[in-house]
Structure 1
Amino acid sequence: MTVDPRRMEEGLIHKASVLDHKDDDHNISQKVDGIDGGHGINNEKEARPSGAVEDHESGFGDHKAGEQQPVLVPTKNKRVATLDAFRGLTIVIMILVDDGGGAYERIDHSPWNGCTLADFVMPFFLFIVGVAVALALKKIPKINDTIKKITLRTLKLLFWGILLQGGYSHAPDDLSYGVDMKQIRWCGILQRIALVYFIVALIETLATKRRPTVLQPGHLSIFTAYRWQWIGGFVAFVIYMITTYALYVPDWSFVAHDHHGAKGYTVKCGMRGHLGPACNAVGHVDRKVWGINHLYSSPVWSRLKACTLSYPNSGPLREGAPTWCHAPFEPEGLLSTISAILSGTIGIHYGHVLIHFKGHSERLQQWISMALGLLIIAIILHFTDAIPINKQLYSFSYVCFTAGAAGIVFSGFYILIDVWGWRTPFLFLEWIGMNAMLVFVLGAQGILAGFVNGWYYKNPNNTLVNWIQTHVFINVWNSERLGTLLYVIFAEITFWGVVAGILHKLGIYWKL
């Protein structure tokens, strides 16, 4: 088979068609999503023929007339370590803000408008879901079989999400378990990842026959080549925006339970297009679809200045606080999940760039230019008060801001790890990223700590986990805040980095 080395060099001909049609590194049978490890992700960079000269303007190389064409020497595919490191970083940030946010609440979720460290976790997960989906579904032998596998993985994620965050598990501090089905929470982190994964993977699969093998010249060709993926993201955007600004939100009532008993409240609304905590369409949709008893009972808006004198920290509600301060709100609800599809769509685009552009500079040019564009859009929308950055509503400016940040971090990791080869300092992130599902369940959700707490001495508070946190960290440093932070860094993040490294050496990975 005759191959134009110039087109091979620029990634316009797939390696499989040149070297080995049977070598399918991106087969769908390999488990790849935003939580589990994704061991089917490889670097597609080809061996460059000696004497080839890049032409960044046209996208083709140039050879002197009559010069003998060099022989292409196949090289072994190299795993793109950036994907695992990025996924591992997201898990680390999740553990840090979940378990350290109580001591340093400024890194916890923003009470309403704005963006803190914790607010990057969900969109970073969805971003890497998109990148992984693009690579995993690069080649699809049978569409029906692929759809079945996507559906099965989605159901597994939904099951684990409801089990871990629906209220059944009370780990790590409460040794009881079980949930009243009248109060079960249907939404959560894994549920959102599952639904976004299902939509973006389904579109990627159904559009496989329209997938290009050769990109047309031009900076925007990558967008037009995958127009159906962007159309899917645009449809999600339109549904979210129309519903958010056009849906009428009536007055609504709820019952709050505390140590004094139950008390009923009514929130006055009767408006459209409101983006505040009380009367937004995102909460209204969740109250109607799931029922108010099935929403998250401790929303972060209770830290707002209108609700507590301890703002921006948690504290008792102030006298005369608005009624909605007592209400539940679902941060991973239905309408906001529709908006979150855009995060996955942008991640898919980054994966497509990784597939089609083989040069480091070309990839980085595509990634960074898009990331900067998204950040500029978000900043303009936020500071003009057109659309504030808001994680709870998953606003469009929030999508742009966090996706832009994800693109910058991903590009930075790519430069450091895959271009400059500084892999060793990031190995612990890679290990965690390879076993992200295991670390998420046992670590971030506290299942292992809950199991250890089950072996207590005399009373349930006298456990090994509590003893280590109190005597090794808090008492030694004579500071609950600093001790808690150090405990999270060393007894949780470092611990799970070591465990994930050992499991990697043993070849043990937990995938859905």
Structure 2
Amino acid sequence: MSGERLHSLDALRGFSMLMIIGFDYLVIALAKAWPAPFMQVLAEQFQHVPWHGFHFYDLVFPLFIFVSGATLVLRPLSLAEQPWSLRKPYYRKLLLRVLLLVLLGIVYNHGWGKGLPASVDEVRYASVLARIGIAWGVAALIVWHCSIRQQLLIGVVILFGYPLLQWLGGLWLAEQHECTSGWLSASCSVNAFIDQQWLPGIRYRDAPVDPEGLLSQIPAVLNALAGYWTTRWLMHYQLSKQRRVLKALAMAIAVAVFIALLVSIVYPLNKTLWTSSFALLTSALSAALLLAFFLVIDCLKWRQWANPLYWIGYNALLIYLLTALFNWAYPVRSMFGQWIKLLTEPWQPVISIVLILFLQLWLLRWLFQKRLAIRL
């Protein structure tokens, strides 16, 4: 299989990061300054659903994982029958990458929230970066050691095995711990029980279940595998140039979306628990986005409009960390604060966010031109 890089994949990575570094805040601020009905609906889509349900913003995190799995196609590799001496460097690199992402996730979470003296019990180890690293690492091991049929079988086992585990765990909790609020509730889910018993450190906002907790790591692997399968499919089209390949992919995506929405009637979409219906829907929607980007950027060669997305995607990890470690509002207030105050109050946050995005894009464009990036 060709190792040629998909421009659409780089743009999609930048698109997903754009949703986090400020575009979400921009939409919400615009809805407050311009309270039209359609803007209120749009703003709602840029906020997470509290529990069961799905908004567009709930897709962003799974999309990251999807893109991480997609990169496995760019360096096709099979270690199934290789001697240990050849496999060992890959395992070492994989483990190092996962550990570094877990560490950077702790840094993003601001490490020890109460400062020094440091206590390992006060660290939140679960994080977005940790989930991406673990999901990618497990998917990589599967791709390196399994045939495509075996990979699909593993995906099916995850898809059906995870809700079965949740259901059986819920029955056990109801019987042994007299938990009556339901097997997909925040307090009585097996996810919450495992996080409370075995997740080291602290949980997100001390909630009963951590949104990046232990058990929900399992279905997240499906998102990474879906990224690999979709990109493999698209690269097969690049080699064959047969339109039926793309039509078959579009049909598979439509079927997956339909099944996920149908199943969600009895097995809800839930980002915190990362239910299988949620994993299937977000995998399908991520694949749909990649297909759309592929058609526009790689097939039609309309690439100029996506340049800002390339800049963001090239340094996605750096800009993600900087959103937590650097106060972007400070330089904007220092340089443009007096001018911003001349605007009416509802529009001041809008212009501030626009200027912050402009500043971030300027930095990312400069780094892109200099080919400077943080890569793991």
* Residue of structure 1 in register with 2:36 after alignment: none
The Cα offsets for residues 399-442 of structure 1, whole Å up to 9 and x where unpaired, read as: 12212211111111111111111100111101211111111112
Structure 2 gap segments, 5+ residues each: 32-42
**Cα contact 1:428–1:498 (8 A) shared by 2:** no
Alignment partner of 1:136 is 2:75:
yes
* Residue of structure 2 in register with 1:147 after alignment: 91
Alignment CA distance shift 1:195-1:283 (3 Å)? same
Alignment CA distance shift 1:375-1:511 (3 Å)? same
**Cα contact 1:249–1:272 (8 A) shared by 2:** no
How do 1:87-102 residues align onto structure 2 when only pairs under 5 Å count? 87-96=13-22, 99=25
Alignment CA distance shift 1:488-1:177 (3 Å)? farther
Which letter maps to 2:222? Answer: L
* Residue of structure 1 in register with 2:6 after alignment: 80
CA distance in 2, matches of 1:238, 1:406: 20
**Cα contact 1:469–1:483 (8 A) shared by 2:** no
- Return the match for 1:448 from 323, 326, 337: 326
* Residue of structure 2 in register with 1:246 after alignment: 168
Q: Give the superposition deviation at 1:235.
A: 3.3
* Residue of structure 2 in register with 1:190 after alignment: 129
CA distance in 1, matches of 2:175, 2:48: 27
Q: Give the superposition deviation at 1:337.
A: 1.4
Structure number with larger C-alpha Rg:
1
CA distance in 2, matches of 1:137, 1:149: 16
**Cα contact 1:157–1:190 (8 A) shared by 2:** yes
Alignment CA distance shift 1:117-1:441 (3 Å)? same
Which letter maps to 2:364? Answer: A
Looking at secondary structure, tell me which structure has more helix per residue: 2
The Cα offsets for residues 6-52 of structure 1, whole Å up to 9 and x where unpaired, read as: xxxxxxxx56xxxxxxxxxx4xxxxxxxxxxxxxxx2xxxxxxxxxx
Alignment partner of 1:342 is 2:208:
no
Which letter maps to 1:296? Answer: Y
CA distance in 2, matches of 1:434, 1:130: 16
When the two structures are aligned, how many residues end up with a matched partner? 354
Alignment CA distance shift 1:403-1:464 (3 Å)? same
State the SS of the aligned residue for 2:298: helix
Alignment CA distance shift 1:96-1:437 (3 Å)? same
Q: Give the superposition deviation at 1:137.
A: 3.1
* Residue of structure 2 in register with 1:285 after alignment: 194
Which letter maps to 1:84? Answer: D
* Residue of structure 2 in register with 1:45 after alignment: none
- Measured on the aligned residues, the alpha-carbon RMSD in Å equals 3.0
The normalised TM-score by structure 1 is: 0.63
**Cα contact 1:167–1:178 (8 A) shared by 2:** no
- Return the match for 1:377 from 235, 259, 279: 259
- Return the match for 1:399 from 254, 279, 287: 279
Which letter maps to 2:100? Answer: K
* Residue of structure 2 in register with 1:411 after alignment: 291
CA distance in 1, matches of 2:155, 2:110: 28
* Residue of structure 2 in register with 1:270 after alignment: 179
CA distance in 2, matches of 1:124, 1:177: 35
Q: Give the superposition deviation at 1:287.
A: 0.9
CA distance in 1, matches of 2:11, 2:299: 14
CA distance in 2, matches of 1:179, 1:250: 38
Structure 1 gap segments, 5+ residues each: 1-13, 16-25, 27-41, 43-78, 171-175, 211-225, 253-267, 299-326, 454-462
* Residue of structure 1 in register with 2:348 after alignment: 483
Q: Give the superposition deviation at 1:296.
A: 0.3
Which letter maps to 2:158? Answer: A
Q: Give the superposition deviation at 1:181.
A: 2.7
Alignment partner of 1:497 is 2:375:
no
Which letter maps to 1:349? Answer: W
The normalised TM-score by structure 2 is: 0.84
Query: Percent identity among equivalent residues?
Result: 24
- Return the match for 1:235 from 157, 177, 183: 157
Which letter maps to 2:326? Answer: L
**Cα contact 2:101–2:130 (8 A) shared by 1:** yes
State the SS of the aligned residue for 1:136: coil
**Cα contact 2:192–2:208 (8 A) shared by 1:** no
Q: Give the superposition deviation at 1:502.
A: 1.5
Q: Give the superposition deviation at 1:466.
A: 5.0
Q: Give the superposition deviation at 1:478.
A: 2.4
Alignment CA distance shift 1:228-1:420 (3 Å)? same
Alignment CA distance shift 1:245-1:84 (3 Å)? same
State the SS of the aligned residue for 1:115: coil
How do 1:429-444 residues align onto structure 2 when only pairs under 5 Å count? 429-442=309-322, 444=323
Alignment CA distance shift 1:88-1:470 (3 Å)? same
Alignment CA distance shift 1:288-1:429 (3 Å)? same
Q: Give the superposition deviation at 1:390.
A: 1.2
How do 1:352-371 residues align onto structure 2 when only pairs under 5 Å count? 352-357=232-237, 358=239, 359=241, 361-371=243-253
The Cα offsets for residues 53-103 of structure 1, whole Å up to 9 and x where unpaired, read as: xxxxxxxxxxxxxxxxxxxxxxxxxx4210110000010112236655875
Q: Which moved more, 1:391-400 or 1:363-372?
A: 363-372
CA distance in 2, matches of 1:135, 1:203: 16
State the SS of the aligned residue for 2:155: helix
**Cα contact 1:167–1:185 (8 A) shared by 2:** yes
Q: Could you say which structure has the greater relative contact order, defined with CA pairs below 8 angstroms and 6 or more residues apart? A: 2
